[in-house]
Structure 1
Amino acid sequence: MIREVVKRVLSGESMRSTVADLRTREITTSAARPWTQQSLSRLLRNPRLAGLKTYLGDVVGKGNWPPIIDEDTHRKLLELLDAPERKQPFATNVRKYLLSGGFLVCGYPLPDESGAGTHIDGKPLYTQPSNSGKRGYVCRSGSPSYGCGRIRIAAESLEEEVAARALARLASPKVRARLERAVGSAINGEETMTEVLGAIEDRLEEAGQAYAKREISLVTLKAIEIEAHREQKQVRERLAQAARLQSLPATTPEALAEWWVDAPLERRRELLALVLDRIIVKPATRAGVVHLDVDRLEFVWK
């Protein structure tokens, strides 16, 4: 499947149509999830496809597993995917929304496969202005998340509410003390955390070699990969939390609020990430309400 996709993309087929075809054929990722343009792009950029070993994201040599594509094809893929003309006009890496990038998830109830209950959609909300130009967050029914498409919430009032709650938590001595305890080991042991990440990479490589030699099954390999990636995420988050806490600009509610007014958006987002994991946005209970309905919001704090 990977070789097929590589050939199609290199021949000029768009990522959007390739993903749509994979979803129509019900070909999923290794984690049994539907493909998105982002997940397919990550796969195609992965040096491991060309038999290249990586450490902390950098290629450090050749691995001991059979490559799926050759190195020349890998280079052509990177050149194609990074080509300036593939980027959308006026695209920018500078965020314009405080809560974009995973802070918000869709809380629309969907029926379970068994029909015995419901579960939330859980897809990330994306930024999208309304027809009148007002900023908002929506659950997209199409690419890249393929969510329910039934949730929308205005950005301005939501961001004001989130900022007020987050600043109050950041100024709380109890929360600050908990944060300092939680990340203390990461602050003082960054080298140890780096060694842990290296050990996880080695474990993934060993699992890949064992699978290539048919010493373990594909199911076992995937279980090892899922657990390893979960551990990597935890370690990297601890390191990031430590850096954010060290750069916290003030400790009192008044000082934090004063700093917030003129702070760059990315610095505000870093502060939010200290205490906020995500917000589940549920359906509106009343149509036509212009003010923020806080009952729609379920805060999940760290």
Structure 2
Amino acid sequence: MRCYGYDETGREVIEPEAAVIRDVVKRVLDGESMRSTVADLRAREIMTSAGRPWTQQSLSRLLRNPRLAGLRTYHGEVVGKGQWAPIIDEATHKRLLDLLDAPERKQPHATNQRKYLLSGGFLVCGFPLEDEGNGTHRCGKPLYTQPSNSGKRGYVCRAGSPSYGCGRIRIAAESLEEEVAARALARLASPKVRARLERAVGSVMKGEETMQEVLQAIEDRLVEAGQAYAKREISLVTLTAIEAEAKREQKAVREWIAQAQRLRAVPAMTPEGLAEWWVDALLERRRELLALVLDRIIVKPATRAGQVQLDVDRLEFVWK
């Protein structure tokens, strides 16, 4: 994918996009928040190089990109000046990095430890939205974790960053997680699913060593490409294409290995064994077990107003 501000070769500046970058850089350095800047870009219908609306994450990645300052990188490290015109100067690039990496911009209590069983993509917003042709489609954005004003855990469709969804769906976490766990454990304990997972475990034991070899082969290919580029045997465009394809392959292989590790950790596949394991298991282990059988849950609007108990009719399970 091309860098916003440059053409497909990565060398020619696209001036209208460069003007947007310079304007954004000035506003951010002048103290405007990323949230406000992104909201303005979306309001003006300015899209990324991939034709998608901007998010705080995509804008942050762009502003951190050394290419904007005319700097060449290799495996994420700046290795010198590039042979293309910069959009901003190096001093401005450094000011941006200092600002974006400033400790005060970090959430003081941020943590990578999950506190919600279904965070990270298990839940999808099913609120119906009108199409231009008078039909409807589901919002489809992932639900994010957000406690209520009283502090009760919940999942919501966010109207703002990072998903820019409809903002119309909210569901309490505790009762939902209990329902999902009960259904997932029952599914895992079924003879048909047990047989499928046992076959998968056998396949995993035979295939993981091969997958590690594939990963090493991809790494070797990247090293060879880097050496060829250093000797000017291939162009930057070719190197970039090789690296992009290698990253896609690495992601697929690592996902396979992660699934293999989850399968190896499967507890005793009986209703009693699963229930006993679930009680004492860490949250991440529970999530890994869910990922074996659950693809996603589409959360639709409540069917009854003022419902206190979980309204299971609003849940659409998509199993693997």
TM-score under structure 1 length normalisation: 0.78
The CA distance in 2 between the partners of 1:128 and 1:15, in whole Å, is: 21
1:218 counterpart residue number: none
Is 1:21 equivalent to 2:40 in the alignment? yes
In the other structure, the counterpart of 1:51 is 72
Q: In the alignment, is the contact (CA less than 8 A) between 1:250 and 1:256 conserved in 2?
A: yes
C-alpha distance in 1 between matches for 2:305 and 2:237? 57
User: Which one has a bigger Cα radius of gyration?
Assistant: 2
Question: 1:109 matched to which residue of 2?
Answer: 128
Q: Which moved more, 1:152-161 or 1:37-46?
A: 37-46
Query: What CA distance in whole angstroms lies between the structure 1 residues aligned with 2:187 and 2:81?
Result: 47
Instruction: Map residues 108-127 of structure 1 onto 2, 5 A cutoff.
Output: 108-115=127-134, 117-127=135-145
Match of 1:251 among 254, 269, 290: 269
Relative to the length of structure 2, the TM-score reads: 0.74
Give % identity. 71
In structure 2, the partner of 1:187 is: 208
* Structure 1 residues 16-165: aligned runs within 5 Å: 16-46=35-65, 50-54=71-75, 58-59=76-77, 66=84, 74=93, 76-115=95-134, 117-165=135-183
Shift, 1:295, TM fit: 2.2
* SS in structure 2 of the partner of residue 258 of structure 1: helix
Give 1:158 deviation, angstroms: 0.8
CA-based RMSD: 3.6
- CA distance in 1 between counterparts of 2:212 and 2:100 reads 33
Greater RCO, 1 or 2 (C-alpha within 8 Å, sep 6+)? 1
User: How many Å apart are 1:297 and its aligned residue?
Assistant: 1.5
Corresponding residue for residue 276 of structure 1: 294
> Contact conserved, 2:184 with 2:290, CA < 8 A, in 1?
yes
Q: Structure 2 regions of 5+ residues with no counterpart?
A: 1-19
Inter-CA distance 88–288: structure 2 relative to 1 (3 Å threshold): same
Gap change, CA 1:230 and 1:122, over 3 Å in 2: farther
SS in 2 for 1:137: strand
Contact 1:51 1:68 in 2 (8 A): no
Residues 161-182 of structure 1: CA distance to partner in whole angstroms, max 9, x if unpaired? Answer: 1112223334442231354367
